Amino acid sequence: MRVAAYVRVSTSVQVKLQTIEQQLEMVRRYVKEKGWELPGENIFRDDGYSGAALKRPALDALRDRTRVRELDVVVTVSPDRLARNYVHQMVLIEELEKQGCRLEFVERPMSSDPNDQLLLQIRGAVAE
């Protein structure tokens, strides 16, 4: 299993509080519980970039790696760490899936169940 992590903080206050390290620790714990390995080169972190934009250095690099089918799963803490906008979340999830890569959220694992999909939509709307 080729695993990657995506973590992000957008404000200078979040950067100073090192919440990105807390996110990374949560992702590492999740990956370990699954019995997977997370190599350092597969950790994508955007320090100080807003989730309102799709153009972010680490996210761009992650998307490039999925386009060439180098990853099987991407783990992130929650949908709002991926993107603040529900439409952007859906674009990214669909893009990953088309490349044979699934996305897993640590805080609330999602399935294709209609209840989970509705919850994802609600969380996306609240994050905006």
Burial of 75 (0-12, 13-18, 19+ CB in 10 A): buried
10-15 contacts, C-beta under 8 A, 24 or more apart: 10/48, 10/49, 10/50, 10/51, 11/48, 12/48, 15/47, 15/48
Active site residue 12: no
Q: How many CB atoms are located within 10 Å of the residue 95 CB?
A: 14
Catalytic residue, chosen from 10, 50, 78, 111, is: 10
Would you name the residues annotated as active-site residues? 10
